[in-house]
Amino acid sequence: MQTGLYVAISSQMALEKRLNTLADNIANSNTVGFRGTEVKFNQMLGDTKPVKVAYVSKGEEFLNTSNGSLSRTGSALDFAIKGDAWFQIETPSGPALTRDGRFTLTDTGDLVTIRGYPVLDAGGAPIQLNGNGGEITVGADGALHQGGVAVASLGLYEADFSKGFMRLDNSAVQPAAQAEPVVDRFDVGVMQGFVEESNVNAVQEMSQLIMVTRAFDNITALLRDGEGSLEEAIKTLGGAR
């Protein structure tokens, strides 16, 4: 049984998945609010008696939860979150979480993202403001004020992404587990006039991309050599001339 070939193929599949995540991270290194994807690989033992053979698992994706740097914009409707929390927005695929706090007001006073998705409060309802109600300010807790009067509150949410997630546009992610409003968290707050940059280090990701590409090429060469050796063995044992 050519276990070596199977081990090499499992390694290639794992490396291909890592290549895809690295390429996506690099492509979004300048995307506001983007959080990079990492992959965790585990060793799997094959049932090949009497020798145990180790394979590489297909890998589990997880989010890099480190915060990106903050960039000052001065816009009253640009918001950044301090700490590990998310804004919740309503998308065509349902409620989703995002760190992209570039919001705008519609003609009817709805607070929406740059893609036009409604921004939700802590109760999951769309936030509506008065377009002619004066200056908009926000407190550290996300409370929105107009003319010194509290009119709404930005919902801050947390979620368990270990059970899986799906990426959407607007730097949004949709966790498999239901997101919950942040309650009594003094390490979480909102800053007005700032946006959070991507937490992807493009130089570091590019270096990893080169290393993974080289590893992929090396395994391809090993597979090619192993296949050639197998053909020669078959010819020799089969008495081919």
So what's the pLDDT on residue 44?
Answer: 47
Q: What is the DSSP pairing of strand 43-46 with strand 53-56?
A: antiparallel
The helix or strand, by DSSP H or E, that contains position 62, with its residue range, turns out to be strand 60-63
Strand partners, 120: 126
Count the Cβ atoms, other than its own, within 10 Å of residue 209.
17
Rounded Cα–Cα distance for residues 27 and 29 (Å): 6
Cα separations in angstroms, 150 against 107, 113, 147: 20, 21, 8
So what's the pLDDT on residue 13?
Answer: 79
So what's the pLDDT on residue 45?
Answer: 47
What's the full length of the chain, in residues? 241
* Dihedral (CA of 91, 95, 100, 105) sign: positive
Rounded Cα–Cα distance for residues 156 and 39 (Å): 27
Task: For the chain, report the end-to-end CA distance as a whole number of angstroms.
Answer: 25
Count the Cβ atoms, other than its own, within 10 Å of residue 49.
6
**Contact between residue 140 and residue 81 where contact means Cβ atoms under 8 Å apart:** no
Rounded Cα–Cα distance for residues 66 and 83 (Å): 9
Lookup: tokens for 21:
């995540």
**List of the chain residues with pLDDT < 50:** 1, 44-45, 241
Q: What is the DSSP pairing of strand 111-113 with strand 103-105?
A: antiparallel
**Contact between residue 33 and residue 100 where contact means Cβ atoms under 8 Å apart:** yes
